[in-house]
Amino acid sequence: MPTVPLSQVKMGDRFASDVITPLGGTLFRKGRVVTSREYEILQAFLIKQVDIEPREGIEEIVVPDDTPLTRFDIEYDRLISLIRRIFVSNSSGIGMPIMDIRTQLENVLAHIEEYSVLTFRPKIADTQDFLYHKSALTAVTSYQLAQWCAFPKKDWVPMALAGLFHDIGMFRIDPNIMYKPGRLTAFEQEEMKNHTKHGYNLLKNVTAINEGVRLAALQHHEKMDGSGYPLGLKGDNIHPYARLVAVADVYHTITLERSYRRGISPYLALEQILNESFGKLDPVIVRTFVEKATSFHNGMVVRLSDNRLGEIVFTDRNHPTRPLVNVGGQIVNLVTERGIHIESIIR
């Protein structure tokens, strides 16, 4: 088990022991392959030397660019393929293979432990693909959020289905309006709002789903203060499924990439959702979402908005989106450094 200075580490080497930061955090686990990204992180944390596995005379190791797919990745891709085939071809709602969709969704949810709402970022091929991915991700996040909010277990899968179908009415909107990259006219905005009614009408005669799934399609743009649409409902008059799906929908709408607009940082998205919870989104669901989504991130390596790399070392419950970050031995307090935020998660 040779210990070598960082300057002698080669791409393709494997760590022979865990790499520990100066503050005692685990930067990489034993067996991790060194790529350019790992090397960059080692430099950022001022790691001087590491233990590597013997090279056994191999001069060069080719390292694949992509991280190996997890079971969640595989089942998620199958769900997207299924949605792509079904949603447009069943725009009437009649004959929609609900059981096929539910079965594949449950295949995805069986591997929910491999999913992180802050780090999972599918590649969006085009504008239409955006809707498929947003539907699938809203489903997965709604399932996870239903657990976090302690809803009865019998509601978890139906809430995931509510997330999956919440925007199905979009497929009855004129594509020239739905995929328009620029600002919509007042008329076009009103047409877009009709997707909630279209969604409910598409689902109202579909068997094997409950009324909460249908109402989530109708009500996910209602606001707690009554300023939403299409009915201007307030507070508890909005179905719980719709209130929960609305939080997941907003998050994925603003974080997913589009062909004409970059998604924003997950942490900025959570801050925006916190701000919207005052009178707009259900504040209990929002607070639970933000606290749970950020409760597992101590030890994560992140890139700050000023392009520095650092490790999250502490999170204040009162400011869950603005933790303390160790950058090369210097602690950056994002609560006081308001001009800096976490741009992305490296690991």
Question: Is 168 within a domain?
Answer: yes
As a whole number of angstroms, the distance between CA 277 and CA 302 comes to: 26
Q: What contacts 324, CB < 8 A, 6 or more positions away?
A: 312, 313, 314, 315, 331, 332, 333, 334
CA 125 to chain centre: 17
Is the CB of residue 303 less than 8 Å from the CB of residue 346? yes
CA 263 to chain centre: 11
- Looking at residue 210, the DSSP 8-state letter turns out to be -
Is the CB of residue 63 less than 8 Å from the CB of residue 11? yes
Question: Is 340 within a domain?
Answer: yes
Question: Is 113 within a domain?
Answer: yes
CA 95 to chain centre: 31
Tell which residue, 215, 241, 211, 209, has the closest CA to residue 99: 209
CATH of the domain at 23: 3.90.105.10
Instruction: Examine the domain organization and report whether 114 and 262 are in the same domain.
Output: yes
Instruction: Examine the domain organization and report whether 266 and 305 are in the same domain.
Output: no
Tell which residue, 71, 69, 80, has the closest CA to residue 112: 71
Instruction: Examine the domain organization and report whether 229 and 338 are in the same domain.
Output: no
Question: Is 63 within a domain?
Answer: no
Q: Which domain holds residue 319?
A: 301-345
As a whole number of angstroms, the distance between CA 182 and CA 255 comes to: 18
Is the CB of residue 136 less than 8 Å from the CB of residue 79? yes
**pLDDT tens, per residue, the chain with 347 residues:** 578 788 778 777 888 898 888 777 788 888 888 877 787 788 778 888 888 887 654 333 333 444 578 999 999 999 999 998 887 665 555 567 888 999 999 999 999 999 999 989 888 877 778 999 999 999 999 999 999 999 999 999 999 999 999 999 998 999 899 888 789 999 999 999 999 999 999 999 888 899 999 999 999 999 999 999 999 999 999 999 999 999 999 999 999 987 667 789 999 999 999 987 888 999 999 999 999 999 877 788 889 999 899 999 998 888 999 999 999 889 999 999 999 999 988 87
Instruction: Examine the domain organization and report whether 155 and 177 are in the same domain.
Output: yes
As a whole number of angstroms, the distance between CA 161 and CA 212 comes to: 10
Tokens 């900025």 sit at which residue? Answer: 268
Instruction: Examine the domain organization and report whether 198 and 91 are in the same domain.
Output: yes
Q: Report the domain count for the chain.
A: 3
What does the CA dihedral 267, 268, 273, 276 come to, rounded to 10 degrees?
150
Instruction: Examine the domain organization and report whether 158 and 113 are in the same domain.
Output: yes
Instruction: Examine the domain organization and report whether 189 and 313 are in the same domain.
Output: no
Is the CB of residue 177 less than 8 Å from the CB of residue 193? no
**Counting beta carbons within 10 angstroms of the beta carbon of residue 275, is it exposed (0 to 12), middle (13 to 18) or buried (19 or more)?**
exposed
